[in-house]
A and B are shown apart, each in its own frame.
Chain A
Amino acid sequence: MSKQINVALIGNPNTGKTSVFNALTGLNQKVGNYPGITVEKKEGVCKLSRNLKAHIIDLPGTYSLNASSLDENVVIELLLNKNDKDFPDVAVVISDVENLKRNLLLFTQIKDLEIPAILVINMSDRMAYKGISLDIEYLEEQLKTKIALVSTRKNKGIEDLKTLISNYKALNTEPCLDASVIDKDYFDNLRKAFPNQLLYKLWLVITQDVNFGKVTRNEFDSIEDFKTKSSAELKKLQQKETIKRYQFINDTLKKGQTIDLKTAKDIRIKLDRILTHKVWGYLIFAIILLLIFQAIYDWSSVPMDFIDSTFAALSEWTRSVLPDGIFTSLLGEGIIPGLGGIVIFIPQIAFLFLFISVLEESGYMSRVVFLMDRIMRRFGLSGKSVVPLISGTACAIPAIMATRNIESWKERLITILVTPFTTCSARLPVYLIIIALVIPEGRFLGLSYQALTLMLLYLIGFATAVGSAYLLNKVLKIRSKSFFVIEMPNYKLPLFKNVALTVVEKTKAFVFGAGKIILAISVVLWFLASFGPGENFNNAEQIVTENWASQELTENELQQKIASYKLEHSFIGITGRAIEPAIRPLGYDWKIGIAILSSFAAREVFVGTLATIYSVGSDEEETIKNRMAGEVNPILGGPLFNLASGISLLLFYAFAMQCMSTLAIVKRETNSWKWPILQLVVMSVFAYLVALAAFQILK
């Protein structure tokens, strides 16, 4: 049997841990030039030799073992708990050659926990550019470790690293710093009280809650009695510890590293002079946003039209080739139109992820955080909230996860609560189809009305998010320190591979994730629409023929009448009409009502649902859009989708909380049902009222 060891990748944010992880495991986890891309533990396997396998654990970045935010805490929890199934046999500490001094701080802390540790010095391809040279042998000796000089970009040094991991038993586990230099008396007492424990580990457990305070205690219960020092004193000691560590590191690097400033180059200063400028910085940011918007709206319309008509043709083709029957009708009227409703959005989703990924990979995202912090703070948010709000335009789920590096709990909570207001990609399908139906063509200042409407909807989304943040900031009584620090990484040329992978993976996840729900819902819907209880449904043909006997109807018209009569008395029709009174004031008929109901699972189901409902019983080849355009309002007459009902629908979707997955994530991230329930109720009631007002005013 082959043996398996645990290998944890630990390091400062943005040093390339995930890149090393991907190189070792062959997996494709997300990489980006922004501190805080990885926010939770990710695992993979690497075969080292015939009988040795490594279980590799990628962790969020941390500046030290003193956690100050949730993502950092993951690392500390793991390292302090020997009983964790993932507790590392060997820690691989990843450092960035350009920030070696700072990166070594964490390394010395890990050494002091006496865990076998390997030092990876990554980004070695940048050494020449920055004029850095290293005396590896000397460093290995001083730091009592083995070093692998790696460049994941150039694919160098990975094999060396694997060899070092295989020989982990030979690693020196002596600490770098004697913990008792921090405070002799205090540590002597500590040693007496816990003779079997590592001093530095005790120290970490004692000091954790000074900064963050969530370490699970287990074996350290009795340590509470040991709080003989106030937290101010402890902080002083931590400062002293940090200074001691830096002294050691400075001494080590004085000999081990030389930097030739004459050959070092830097484009950071030049770029930052423009990109973070008081005027140009904001202007450029605005232009980038406009460009993204333009791409999503304009550039993707061509492939979208193509997909739409292909699916209509496919559905028609299935029905013409396969023999009539239940299966054919399920396929042609349920599944294919339902799936078409999701595949059509692939181009837009892909564009969105492309842009977001380029912004992250280039290092620009941190600059946006810098530019926006002051403004966002007015609304109770943090500069770091910009990242969730921007990536929320793709999907609220990763966006809410991305709040984990916000230090202040209040700012983080508010960000989580308002992020679902940003226009996520699941809303796009709904917006696009309704805009196409109700907003006239024609242009204003060269921009089409339709594009302007979409832009307005995005703005409404942001404005509502920021506005409700402002209110929450006033209402929520949470005391939490407002502290903010963000690293400004070097600019990097985005790596095509990283960008392409993000786009492909995310798009796939979107299509398959939503695809499953849509498939299930469209089968259920088709069933409910194709069958019904009682006389009315079963004898539909007879009833309709008799009712219309006095009028001259063509065969075709008669069939249409029968089909819609059947639909109305099917299970779904009965349900739909039961809820109709509630939605009629908003200008919707029962079919839209059903679509709204089913899209409480996920918004993008809306279009698929309508497509399914409308195609049951009709047999011409039609695109979804044309079917919807043909619907007539049963009470007011005229097209069902007109300006008033259209705007009302758009606004409803802009505000309503219709995404189970988001609610589940909010529950997980806030650790309480209170917040997701609050979101669901407040957002949905607000949506209903706004939609109601819109329809009543416009009709």
Chain B
Amino acid sequence: MEEDLKTERKGQLLAIKDLPTLPTVLDEVSKLVARPESTTEQVARLISMDQVLSAKVLKMVNSPIYGFPGRISSISHALMLLGFNVIRGIIVSTSVFEVMTKNMVGLWEHSIATALASSTIARACGLRDPDEYSVAGLLHDLGKVVATVQLPELKIAIESLVKEKDLTYLAAEKELLGFGHDRINAWLATHWKLPPNIKEGMDHHHSPQTAQLYPEMAAVVHLADFLARLYEFGSGGDDNVPFVQPDAFKILKIKPKDLEAICDTLGERFVEVSDLKFT
């Protein structure tokens, strides 16, 4: 019975047709792509500020129609391959949330903060393609957005359970759904044929120690999520700073005190985006 319910919910979640976003970035991007002199880099930088648009662009470029599923993990590469026509099409067909709740805005801000923290950590650790870590960081809570759209009544229940019992969002999801947003992420990434490194960052950000193929990706997003919460930039849906898996440091071959230098850089980068407002 339990298993049936899970399969049914998985089906409901993956059936998502219309994934809405917040209007702020969407408006900006549509203005930018309407101008002929806009460059791919400008558009990529802006799309990288919106988890839903980024997910849509990656889903599109990795779809079998284009002929190279699971290969593209960077937004700028996706734009080079899709072109502005397709991007315009994606923007026009993207709707916005009718009700913009405080929680939703917080989640968008938290996602950007995690993206920034991910690329900062990746650079500090000397990992290649830091932009791809940024993408995984940006998308790490996408499962929460999809659950909100497809299972709205459960979302309300989760939020009240978080408040009532002072649980983490993940614990509340598990109590009510039987699985967390990390599992939803894994389903989405597989269903949308996202590259395996992005998938592992998304579905193992709470458990980097069990990541099989790209443990560095999972460890980076795990620490980035922690730092974003520590700085209280945006909100992941609860007030707890999550427990840090000591394995994350081992995987990245760094010591907890190395985070100090990372925090210094990150503080500066947060200032750069602090004027970005979703409300």
Q: Do A and B make up one complex?
A: no
Chain B interface residues toward A at CB < 8 A: none
